Structure formats: C-alpha cells, structure tokens
Amino acid sequence: MKRNFLKISALLLAVSLASCKYQKNNTIDQNDVRTGDEYVYGVHPDSAARQTKIKYTAKPELEQRTTAIREKLFGAATAETTAPAAAVAAPAAADSAATK
C-alpha cells in the first residue's frame, strides 16, 4: 500500500512539474494588423473599444428562439429553476428553523 502511494505521489509530482511548461512553447509571434486601431482597441489601452459601444435593438423573435433552444437542451423551465436565489434560500432557512 505504501509502495503504491509512493509511486502515485511520484507520478503526480512529475506530471505537476511537467505541466508548468505545458503552454510555454505553444505560442506564435505574429504581427497585429490592427495595431493602433481605435475601433478595435479604443483610444487608450484602458478604455473600451468603440465596437463594444454599439447598442443593438432588441428582437423578441430571437428571445423566443433562445427559449426554444434552451428548452430543447435542458428541458422545460420549472419554478425552482426560474426563481431568484434569495426566494429559494428563504424557505429552506425557514424549514431548518422549524425542525430545531
């Protein structure tokens, strides 16, 4: 048992040390063709880009489509899944206080 533990520990140590340099060589140096472009980077490195300031009009048909896709993937919504977290936590606290 102790021998297996030492082998597993040594293996985990080797993997953890090897993973420190995992992405070190997985990079590529390439020219940024949009260097200095205010539309992409904004006027200052700390400012928001101009493209993020665009506001789009809401389309209700997309909300219906999103809901249909969500129901297809995750099933129909129930009261527990759509209720705010505070409303769900409050009855649980009341139930635990009543059982004491």
Residue ranges of alpha helices (H) inside the chain are 2-19, 38-41, 60-74, 79-82, 85-98
Whether the per-residue pLDDT at 69 is higher than 90: the answer is yes
pLDDT, position 81:
67
For residues 58 and 66, the answer to whether their CB atoms sit within 8 Å is no
Measure the CA–CA gap between 34 and 93, rounded to whole angstroms: 54
Q: Taking the CA atoms of the chain, what radius of gyration do you get in angstroms?
A: 26
pTM of the model: 0.29
pLDDT tens-digit readout, 3-55: 889 899 988 888 777 666 666 776 778 888 888 888 777 787 777 777 766 78
Non-local (6+) Cβ contacts of 77 within 8 A are 70, 71
Domain range summary for the chain, segments of one domain joined by +: 34-95
pLDDT tens-digit readout, 77-100: 777 766 665 555 555 555 555 555
Measure the CA–CA gap between 63 and 84, rounded to whole angstroms: 20
